[in-house]
Amino acid sequence: MELQCKIQNYEWGKLGLDSTVAKLVVNADPSMTIDPNKSYAELWMGTHPNGPSLIIERDIHLSEYLKNNLDAIGPDVRRKFDVSVPFLLKILSVRKALSIQAHPSKAHAEELHKNFPELYKDPNHKPELAIALTPFEALCGFRPISQIKEYINKLPELKEILSEASVNALEQGAVDDSASLLKDVFQSLMTSEKNTIARALENVMKKLQSEDESTQSKLLYPLLKKLHSDYPGDVGCWAPYFMNYIQLRPGQAIFLGPNLPHAYLSGDCVECMACSDNVVRAGLTPKHIDVPTLINMLDYTSYQPNELLFVPQIEDPNSCIWRPPVPDFAVVKIRVESGDSYNTIVRPSPSIIIIISGKGEACDTEPIPARAGVVIFLKASRQLTLTPSDGEHIEAYQAICNV
């Protein structure tokens, strides 16, 4: 069954047809008009109440259809998640940085929702998987302590806004206490006075712009300049000196488990997550920032960038799967070449499939033209046959429950 899905026009999204979201949507429905000055940030595929998908042929929301068609969910998913699609599949097109943020664990989400329901709207966790469609930049996880120390020592403007006690402790502290030391110095940054932060940023920008290209590169000036132009004076502009700067190639992925600090910076990706809106923000945003909650929940492990890459498993010659350590979702990438035909693997779960490129036919009970941007809902324990047109291919991403 083909779905009509919700576009989110958040301010940080790519504009017009620069956006993969816009390209996919207009390719699936050529009657759509794309405004070149409007941002097309996200495409939501699922049953989330803030952007529910519609079954085109039946003209009803997918969530309504499921209430009367329990077989579509399947017994395994119903036992775990009741009558719901517990994941939200998205396409993101990022023009400027999203907020530095982390997502609470399930138990913490329940606590936050109970105590602050106006800020934390539901009791669910929000693990996320991001798979790059184009070169994709993100900040993710804390850097090794040695790198953070080096940046603090090479940037007196940064050192001046941190408490002397936290910097001294970081310099002299034991390796086995690194998480505690990192927490103290990051808390010192996040609780610094706004004017002090902004003034230090102005000073470091003036100094770095006159340095040679090699020094600018080593001290992350191009990234700092971009963040500062988008969010002038924001404490989050200092985040690259504490967090890993990751550049994903198309097909590479990161998994964002509970409490892992991250921020998407630019590019296009497929994203899948548990159905939740629980975000604790720290900077690079005009939205609510909850510093005390964030400081106390973060994962202060130091990671090397390659440790944060999430590698898929090959399932068969046409598919690979990213299977995170959560039951809510997994994501399958499918690629079918010209002259071939492929039957998707039968899953005990409903699934949502988006065609990313190519053209041909998708058939469950009835054939659907398969072209980039088409989104299909597949019932539990059913199979979809993908057949490219002559000289074409079909590439698709399938979200499933990880049960």
Provide the annotated active-site residues.
Answer: 281
Dist. CA 117–CA 179, nearest whole Å: 30
Q: Strand ranges (DSSP E) for 46-179?
A: 54-55, 60-61, 87-94, 100-102, 128-132, 136-142
> Which H/E stretch holds residue 351?
strand 351-363
For residues 336 and 394, is the Cβ–Cβ distance under 8 A? yes
Dist. CA 239–CA 202, nearest whole Å: 15
Give φ, ψ of 171 to 5 degrees: -65, -40
Closest CA to 98 of 287, 225, 294, 321: 287
User: What is the three-state SS of 31-53?
Assistant: CCCCCCCCECCEEEECCCCCCCC
Q: Which residues pair with 357 in a beta bridge?
A: 395
Q: What does the CA dihedral 121, 126, 130, 136 come to, rounded to 10 degrees?
A: 50
Closest CA to 61 of 8, 6, 9: 6
> Assign residue 363 a region: left if phi > 0, alpha if psi is -120 to 50, beta otherwise?
beta
Residue count of the chain, please give it.
Answer: 403
> Which H/E stretch holds residue 92?
strand 87-94
Q: Which residues pair with 182 in a beta bridge?
A: none
For residue 123, the 8-state DSSP code is S
Dist. CA 53–CA 382, nearest whole Å: 20
Q: Strand ranges (DSSP E) for 143-256?
A: 243-248, 253-256
Dist. CA 98–CA 147, nearest whole Å: 24
